[in-house]
A and B are shown apart, each in its own frame.
Chain A
Amino acid sequence: MDLTLRGRAEPAQPPAHTSVALELRGVRKSFGGAVALRDVGFTLLAGEVHALVGMNGAGKSTLVKIISGAYPPDGGELLIAGRRHGALTPRRARALGVSIVHQQRMLVPELTVGENLFLGRMPLRLGRVDWNRVHTDAARLLAELGVEVASRTTAGELGPAEQTLVEIARETHAGGEVLILDEPTATLGGSDAARVHRLVRTLGARGVAVVYISHHLDEVLDLADRVTVLRDGRHVTTVPTDRMDLPELVRAMTGDRLPQGRPDTGRTLGEVVLELDDLTAGTRLDGMDVTVRAGEVVAVLGCAGDGQSQLFPLLSGLRRPTRGRIKVAGREVRPGSVTAALGAGLRCVTGERLVHGLVPELGVDENLALTERGLHRPWLVRWGRLHRAGGAARTRFGVVTIQADPPVSTLSGGNQQKVLLARWLDSGAVACLLEEPTNGVDIAAKADIHRLVDDLAARGTAVLLASADVDEVLRLAGRVVVVRAGRTVADLPTGQVSRDELVALSVGGTPS
């Protein structure tokens, strides 16, 4: 995904890190009956970037939560800078120099970058905040770390990458010697991700030990010095990344299970079903024309947050386009109406499943039934029928649960995503929009979801895919429309374009 990264081409730095920043020995943790970690050992050296990979449910989150003090371990030892610690609290962990930057950005959007950096530690003069020092100190700190963000900017105006950079800067300034980054680039495009990578390298060079969690394995191999693989709560291996390649890493994560290449099934295309005609949303999407035939998968590819991210609000009826039309099976869909979109057989599946998709407190089966209920508006809820239909849908879409019908919030990301897809695609979809269908999902679930999309197209549904993930686009789509800064820059069959060409098109590597 990152053409800009050429870090490995340079002479490899000798592993100068000798002192151990943090060590886990035989750590165990279970929740109720479910074992999350069994006898996990983990050694983090000062100055290294240590990637932590594994599929959803492998124990990555639990491990970093133990390190950052959110969970006490059930057993085992935790050593920070050589000293043994019992149960940590988040506050204690911070005091010991362990800090964490979460995937969800946590700056105060109304405050400036400078204020966010020194929140709780504002420099004072005569008991009052010394504003000049806030901004000069902030500017110096940011410049030292190579973060090009103005200290007086309001945090809410920053892009997602810059917010992440500022957060990382804040944690390191607070004296973090161990920094945990939880999927910092999950929602970022190539060039934005590269900025985060640069900062991570800078920190490593300054002696900060970085634990880096990511689903993007090429990123991991490129950025990290060492990688630790977890599987089913067990430590599988820890190796230097220069002694590991992608297939090997995948094998370590999945065990026997391997991801599938693109199946070479010639899809038979039918009539044009979905037409976007000059679709425009302010400056963020400019005059998009796309047609999707029955049985066809067309991808709209762009960097994270580019024009493709406007398709969900427009097509689902949440927002009215400033210009242009949406047609399903030749008939125009009334703009800005959720019911009209649903009635036309258009199904839009969000990429943010917990924001626009699922009702976390309700059970899996009731979540599965929501779209059906919204479409047919019955008077009564028949629980017996609902659970039977839910059970059938779970089997078809491969949703795995321990309990019979748990609240959907207790499921793993992959299972939640399958619930979301099952709910939207099981009820008479003529055309559908899938937005980042495998966002934050492990490899096995990703493969399952890709097969589900193949089946969907094979049944004659017109599928429009909005994605920032080149590999996924190449895996799923027959044709790709590339958007950059809201404008369509290419419309090509995926068979005629290479991965690198697509990346270059979306980040602006070649003139259009």
Chain B
Amino acid sequence: MTTAVEPRRRLGVTVHPGLVRHGGVLAVLLIIGTFTALRSDVFLTGPNLLNVSRQIAVVAVLAAGLTLLMTAGGIDFSLGAIAAVTHGVTAQLITAGAADWLAVTLAVGLGALIGLVNGTVVTLFRVTPFVATLASSTILSGAALLIIEGQSISIGEHLAGLGFGEVFGVIPALVVIAVVVCLAIGCVMRWTAFGRNAFAIGGNERAARLSGIPVVRTKLLLYTLGGLLAGLGGVMLVARLGAASPGTGGLHLELTVVAAVVIGGTALHGGSGTLVGTILGVLLLGVVANSLNLLQINPYYQDIALGAVLMVAAVANHLRSRRH
């Protein structure tokens, strides 16, 4: 009652408190990076880092949307499946002769629409987000296979500018997109009423509603935005791989995205989260995957490593919030 000292959570994307808050993830990232660099000559080479950055760009785009959603106390387990669907749709549209821009726009729009449906189920029918999006994730995984008829569909040289293009001759276009998305979401979380309302809803939904904050509308928008970014992620996937194929995106991508956000310190119950943390989480998972690859460790250890990192991060978050 009197001396209850709650954990002091820093909001926003300021650098200094961010360093304090994310010190643990940053340290682990540096340790693994240093270890890999010492054991492998390839790790710190340009081509390898570019490759890693292309791979994590997709994860970063999805994770940015999920960070905002989870800050508002929501969760979406269908983001990976949405990406799988839109990556198939993009490929089918392009092979059917649609213009690249049209295919991309439709795919991103479809992602947003699926997000809106998720949001509607969660807000209007009051289904727990976990269950609702798990159901839609399962539906969409099946739909994704149907769309590409279980086969690989090449898009040839289409979208090569997006997948392999470089800005100023060095920075991959995919990375530029990811950076733009992250910057935009970071600004939304700090400076817009929409973003701050997400914090208020995640922190105390009833209080937010009584203050006149449009809770339902905000949640619908959050799920739609998450779906839209997942749709964009699907387009980035097909552009990077040059083909749509079974097993791309889906559950594995989803788990990576959720793991990255949790490792970044966003609270599962909402009310607290930072994009800086999420980006560090994405980087950490990307570096771990790459390091396992380079050190020629059995690929089956990939999932074990992902799960272990997630477990450690969750425990660390818990301990940190208890210590204060």
Give min CB distance, B192 to chain A, whole Å: 6
Stretch in contact with the other chain, from B152-160, B202-210, B306-314: B202-210
Q: Does chain A have a CB within 8 A of B163?
A: no
Q: Does chain B have a CB within 8 A of A316?
A: yes
A440-B2 Cα distance, complex, nearest whole Å: 10
Q: Does chain B have a CB within 8 A of A380?
A: yes
Give min CB distance, B206 to chain A, whole Å: 5
Give min CB distance, A298 to chain B, whole Å: 22
A224-B167 Cα distance, complex, nearest whole Å: 78
Interface size on B, residues (CB 8 A): 32
Q: Does chain B have a CB within 8 A of A59?
A: yes
**What are the interface flags for A364-394 relative to B under an 8 Å C-beta threshold, 1 for contact and 0 otherwise?**
0010001101110111110100000000000
Contact A370 to B191, CB < 8 A, known contacts A56-B2, A62-B3, A409-B6: no
A357-B207 Cα distance, complex, nearest whole Å: 5
Contact B213 A360 (CB under 8 A): no
- Counting chain B CB atoms within 10 Å of each CB, which of A31, A34, A56, A377 scores highest? A377
Q: Does chain B have a CB within 8 A of A60?
A: yes
New contact pairs (19) apart from A31-B3, A60-B1, A381-B190, CB-CB < 8 Å: A32-B5, A36-B2, A61-B2, A316-B210, A318-B210, A342-B212, A358-B204, A359-B199, A359-B203, A362-B199, A363-B11, A366-B200, A370-B208, A373-B197, A374-B212, A374-B214, A375-B212, A381-B196, A423-B211
Contact A370 B213 (CB under 8 A): yes
Give min CB distance, B23 to chain A, whole Å: 19
Give min CB distance, A77 to chain B, whole Å: 21
Stretch in contact with the other chain, from A105-113, A151-159, A245-253, A348-356: A348-356
Which residues 197-228 of A have a CB within 8 angstroms of B?
Answer: none
Contact B5 A31 (CB under 8 A): yes
Q: Does chain A have a CB within 8 A of B272?
A: yes
Contact A407 B8 (CB under 8 A): yes
Task: Count A-B pairs with CB separation below 8 Å.
Answer: 122
Q: Does chain A have a CB within 8 A of B170?
A: no
Q: Residues of B contacting A362 with CB < 8 Å?
A: 11, 199-200, 203, 271
Nearest B residue to A59 via CB reads B2
Q: Residues of B contacting A348 with CB < 8 Å?
A: 210
Q: Residues of A contacting B207 with CB < 8 Å?
A: 355-359, 370
Contact B210 A381 (CB under 8 A): no
Q: Residues of A contacting B199 with CB < 8 Å?
A: 359, 361-362
**Out of A316, A355, A366, which one reaches B196, CB within 8 Å?**
A366
B interface residues (Cβ-Cβ under 8 A, vs A): 1-6, 8-9, 11, 190-197, 199-200, 203-204, 206-214, 271-272
**Out of A56, A358, A363, A373, which one reaches B213, CB within 8 Å?**
A373
Q: Does chain B have a CB within 8 A of A410?
A: yes
Interface size on A, residues (CB 8 A): 50
- Counting chain A CB atoms within 10 Å of each CB, which of B192, B207, B272 scores highest? B207
Nearest B residue to A36 via CB reads B3
Give min CB distance, B88 to chain A, whole Å: 36
Q: Residues of A contacting B204 with CB < 8 Å?
A: 354-355, 357-360
Q: Does chain B have a CB within 8 A of A430?
A: no
A440-B3 Cα distance, complex, nearest whole Å: 14
Contact A361 B211 (CB under 8 A): no
A281-B278 Cα distance, complex, nearest whole Å: 47
Q: Residues of B contacting A410 with CB < 8 Å?
A: 4-6, 8
Q: Residues of A contacting B197 with CB < 8 Å?
A: 373
> What would be 22 A-B contacts, judged by CB atoms less than 8 Å apart?
A31-B5, A56-B1, A57-B3, A59-B3, A62-B2, A354-B204, A356-B206, A359-B204, A360-B6, A360-B203, A360-B204, A370-B207, A371-B212, A373-B193, A373-B211, A373-B212, A374-B212, A374-B213, A375-B212, A380-B193, A381-B195, A413-B2
Contact A339 B212 (CB under 8 A): yes
Q: Does chain B have a CB within 8 A of A431?
A: no
Nearest B residue to A318 via CB reads B210
**Out of B1, B193, B195, which one reaches A413, CB within 8 Å?**
B1
Q: Residues of A contacting B6 with CB < 8 Å?
A: 360-361, 407, 409-410
Q: Which 6 A-B pairs have the closest CB atoms?
A: A374-B212, A359-B203, A374-B211, A409-B6, A370-B211, A361-B271
Contact B192 A380 (CB under 8 A): yes
Give min CB distance, A367 to chain B, whole Å: 9
Contact A440 B1 (CB under 8 A): yes
Q: Residues of B contacting A407 with CB < 8 Å?
A: 6, 8-9
Q: Residues of B contacting A381 with CB < 8 Å?
A: 190-193, 195-196
Give min CB distance, B49 to chain A, whole Å: 36
Q: Residues of A contacting B200 with CB < 8 Å?
A: 359, 362, 366, 370
Contact A359 B210 (CB under 8 A): no
Q: Does chain B have a CB within 8 A of A141?
A: no
Nearest B residue to A343 via CB reads B212
Contact A355 B206 (CB under 8 A): yes
